[in-house]
């Protein structure tokens, strides 16, 4: 078991090495739009999971996750060699690439928040035209003394 601080440092270093290698050393055009977002490493420092996102070539095009996954899989050996050279650890961790779901989750949450805002605006518009059900003052008014005297007289007669 490695020190958690050491594991965090190694994970960060692996992210930097792999990102640099993808950008400068590997000439696969399928990796042009890949970004390494996070790296998790096991406690024994033998396995590293790298999370990545893929952006489209332009704003209208959808990212090609399948092509990026295939390119990362084919470059895994080269990337592991780079990690081994760049970290200097005794055992170079195996690399596993996983598509990061955070951007999709964030986009879904933004859509849900936008729908909630629209629903709130609709409720606010309806509330401006709303009227009370029943009387405007739903509380009973206190009885006046004259009314109390009449009720007391009726009770004594009855």
CATH of 4-100, one of 2.115.10.20, 3.40.50.12780, 3.30.300.20, 1.10.472.50: 3.30.300.20
**What residue ranges do the domains of the chain occupy?**
4-100
SS3 assignment for the chain: CCCHHHHHHHHHHHHHHHHHHHHHHCCCHHHCCEEEEEEEECCCCCEEEEEEEECCCCCCCCCCHHHHHHHHHHCHHHHHHHHHHHHCCCCCCEEEEEECCHHHHHHHHHHHHHHHHHHHHHHHHHHHHCCCCCCCCCCCCCCCHHHHHHHHHHHHHC
Question: pLDDT for 15-46, tens place per residue?
Answer: 999 999 999 999 988 888 899 999 999 999 99
**Range in 26-30, 84-88, 100-104, 118-122 with the lowest mean pLDDT:** 100-104
């Amino acid at each position: 078991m490695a020190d958690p601080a050491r594991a965090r440092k190694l994970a960060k270093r692996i992210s930097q090495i792999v990102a640099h290698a993808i950008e400068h050393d590997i000439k696969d055009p399928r990796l042009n739009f890949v970004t390494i977002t996070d790296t998790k490493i096991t406690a024994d420092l033998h396995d590293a999971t790298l999370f990545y996102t893929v952006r489209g070539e332009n704003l209208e095009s959808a990212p090609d996750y399948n092509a990026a996954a295939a390119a990362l899989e084919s470059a895994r050996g080269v990337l592991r060699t780079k990690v081994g050279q760049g970290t200097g650890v005794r055992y170079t961790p195996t690399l596993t690439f996983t598509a990061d779901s955070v951007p999709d989750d964030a986009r879904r949450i933004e859509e849900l928040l936008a729908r909630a805002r629209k629903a709130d605006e609709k409720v606010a518009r309806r509330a401006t035209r709303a009227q009370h059900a029943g009387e405007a003052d739903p509380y009973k008014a206190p009885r006046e003394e004259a009314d109390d005297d009449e009720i007391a007289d009726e009770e004594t007669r009855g």
